[in-house]
A and B are shown apart, each in its own frame.
With several copies, the nearest count.
Chain A
Amino acid sequence: SSSDESGTASGDTTTCTPDALQTLEAGVLTIATGEPAYYPWVIDDAPEKGEGFEAAVAYAIATELGYDQAAVKWVRTTFDAAIAPGPKTFDFNLQQYSITDERKEVVDFSSPYYKSNQAIVSFKGSKLDGVTTLQGITDSGAKLGAAVATTSLDVIESTLGLKASVFNDNAAGVTALKNKQIDGLVVDLPTAFYLSAVEVPNGIIVGQIEGSDAADQGFGLLLAKESPLTSCVTKAVDAIRDNGTLASITSKWLADSAGAPVLK
C-alpha cells in the first residue's frame, strides 16, 4: 500500500516506518561507525550507549524513523571501505563523512548533520607551534599527516599544496603524531579539539582552515548508492534539525569545540 507513495517527492511520513523501510534486516536499523570510534563522536568506543555526538545523532534519527533502542544494531567499517562503490553491510554509516560531489557519484548522503572546518593538531614546541598563516605552514617545512580517503588529505594536498603522510586511519596518524614522526595531523575540528586536549601530550590546535574545501557541504550520513532509505533518512535529519534535537545534541557533545584561530 505504501509502495506507490514511496516515489512521491513530497515527504509523506507514513512511508518512513520500520515496517515500510527496506533495511538490510527487516525491523532492524543497522548503523555503522569506525573502529575505533573516537571521542567526541562516540564516547568510549561504545556507540550502543548513545553517548557522543554521532551516537546521539544516530539514535535520534532511529527514534525519528520509529525504531526503539533495541532495534538498532551497530557494525564497524573502515573509513575508506565505506565510501567505496558497491553494496553495503549497513543501512547508514556515520563517521564524519564530508559530503562531496565525487563521493555522491558512488554513494548516497543524507542532508548534513554537522558542518566542520578542518584543523591541524600538533604539539608544543613543534615546527607548527606559533604558526598563524597558511603560508607559514607551508614555509615551516612541517610534515603533515592525514588518513587515506579523507577530506583532510585533500586539504593538505590541495589547499596547502604539501605532500602528506598518509595513514590507514586517524588512529595510526595519532600514533605518528605522538611519536613526533609527523608535526601535524589534519582532522575535522571537533576531533582536533579532542585529540589536542586528551590524546596528544602537550597537544595544540594550530588553527582551523576555513572553507577548506569549497565543495565541502558538511557531514552527512552515508548510504549505499540509490538506497531506498536515503529520502527517509534525509527527512529524519531535517526533522531533528528543525525540532531542535540536533542543536541540543550538538551543544551537549561539541560545545567546547568553539573558537580555534583561523589560518589565513
Chain B
Amino acid sequence: MSENRGRGSGGNSGSAPYDFGGAWQPSEIELARRVARKKRNQKNALIAALSSALVLGTLIVVIVTSPGWVTLRNTFFKWAYGVEVLPKILLGFATNATLTVIAGTSVALIGLLVALIRTSRTPALTPFRFLATIYVDVFRGVPLLLVILLVGFGIPALQIKGLTNSVLILGTLAVIITYSAYVAEVIRSGILTVHPSQRAAARSLGLSHSQTLRYVVLPQAFKRVTPPLLNDLVALVKDTGLISILGVTDAVRAAQIQTSKSFNYTPYVMAALIFLAVTIPLTRATDRMLRKSLERQNAQGQA
C-alpha cells in the first residue's frame, strides 16, 4: 500500500531544515487564489459600504427631512442652551460623583466583610452568618428607591436624639446598605468559584484556614469578581441619582429643574452625556476584562 505516493520536493534535506524565514514566493495557484479572495473581499466590503451608506443615509435623511426634525432638534439638542445649563448639571453631578466615591468605598469594605462571614465555618459566627444571609436576601430583593425612602424619610421619623436627619447622609446610607448586599453576593460567589483543589493545595502546604483564605482564595476571587464589581460600580454611579427623591439635587434633578422651567429637554441630554463620559469607559474596561478571561478559559480548554 505504500507505493503511489509522491512528496514533491520531499524532506528537502538539501536545505537547512529549520530555515522557514527564507524567501518564500507564493505559487501561481496561491496568487490566483488571492486574486479570487481579494475580489470576494472587495465585493463584501462594497456590500458593507453600500449597505451602510444606504441604511445610515436613509436614516439620517428620514430624520432630518421629517416634519418633526426641527422640533426634535430644538427640543432635545439645543446646544447653546445645553452649554448654558451645563454648569448647574455638572454641579449636580458632583453629588453623584461624591456619593459614588464614598458609597463605593464603604460598600467594598462592608461587602467583603459580609461575604467573609457568609463563607466562614467558625461555629461562633453562626448567628452572624444567619443575619448576613437574611440581610443579603432582603436588600437584593427590595427596590433601592424603597430603601432610600424608608431610610431617608423613615429613620428621622423616629426622632431619635443624636441621630442625623441629613438626607444626604441617610440617602448615602441607604445606597450603601443596598449595594453592600449586591457586592457581598458577588464576592461570595467569587470565593466559591476558586477551585477546591486550590484550597487543598494550600492546606496540603500546611497553611491554616485563614492563611489559605488570605493568600490563596481571596486574591484569586478578587481577580474573578473584578468585572462584575465594575458592573456594580457602573450601576452605582447611575443609581446615586435616586436619592434625589429625598430632595438632594443630583445631575438628573438639576436637569429636571432646568427642563421644568424651559420645557426644553436638552438638559436631560446633557446629563445623559455626562453619565456616559463616566460609564462608557468603565463598561469598556469591564468588557475587555471579561473577554480576556474568556480567552484564557478557552485556551485552557483547548490545550
Contacts and interface: CB of A to CB of B under 8 A. Distances in A.
Interface of A: 35-36, 45, 76-78, 80-81, 83-89, 102-103, 105-106, 145, 148-149, 153-154, 163, 165-168, 171-176, 178-182, 225
B260 A89 contact: no
Contact of B165 (A83, A88, A102): A88
A148 B256 contact: yes
A172 B153 CA distance: 9
Given A80-B260, A86-B159, A176 B167 contact: yes
Given A85-B159, A149-B256, A179-B165, 9 more contacts: A85-B263, A86-B158, A102-B262, A165-B247, A166-B247, A166-B257, A171-B260, A172-B153, A178-B263
Contact of A78 (B157, B246, B262, B263): B246
Contact of B157 (A84, A89, A168, A173): A84
Determine the main DSSP class of B at the interface with A. Answer: helix
Interface of B: 75, 152-153, 155-159, 165-167, 244-249, 253, 256-257, 259-263
16 contacts: A35-B247, A86-B158, A87-B165, A89-B165, A106-B157, A148-B260, A149-B261, A154-B261, A163-B249, A166-B256, A167-B247, A172-B256, A176-B246, A180-B156, A180-B165, A181-B153
B247 A171 contact: no
| B157, B158, B257, B259 — most chain A CB neighbours (10 Å) | B257
A149 B153 CA distance: 13
Contacts of A167: 245, 247
B257 A35 contact: yes
A166 B249 contact: yes
Contacts, number: 115
Given A78-B247, A85-B157, A87-B159, A149 B165 contact: no
Nearest to A226: B159
A86 B156 contact: yes
A78 B256 CA distance: 14
B85 to A, nearest CB: 13
Contacts of B248: 165
Contacts of B257: 35-36, 148-149, 153, 166, 171
B245 A172 contact: yes
A105 B263 contact: yes
A103 B155 CA distance: 18
Nearest to B245: A168
B167 A81 contact: yes
A135 to B, nearest CB: 24
A102 B263 contact: yes
A175 B167 contact: no
A36 B263 contact: no
B77 to A, nearest CB: 16
Contact of A87 (B152, B156, B244, B246): B156
Nearest to B256: A148
Nearest to A157: B257
A198 B156 CA distance: 20
Contacts of B155: 86
Contacts of A163: 249
A202 to B, nearest CB: 13
Contacts of A176: 153, 167, 246-247
A77 B153 contact: no
A216 to B, nearest CB: 14
Given A84-B157, A87-B156, A102-B262, A172 B247 contact: yes
A35 B249 contact: yes
Contacts of A165: 167, 247-249
Contacts of B261: 36, 45, 102, 149, 154
Give 8 closest A-B pairs by Cβ, nearest first: A86-B156, A165-B247, A149-B260, A171-B260, A179-B156, A78-B247, A85-B157, A87-B165
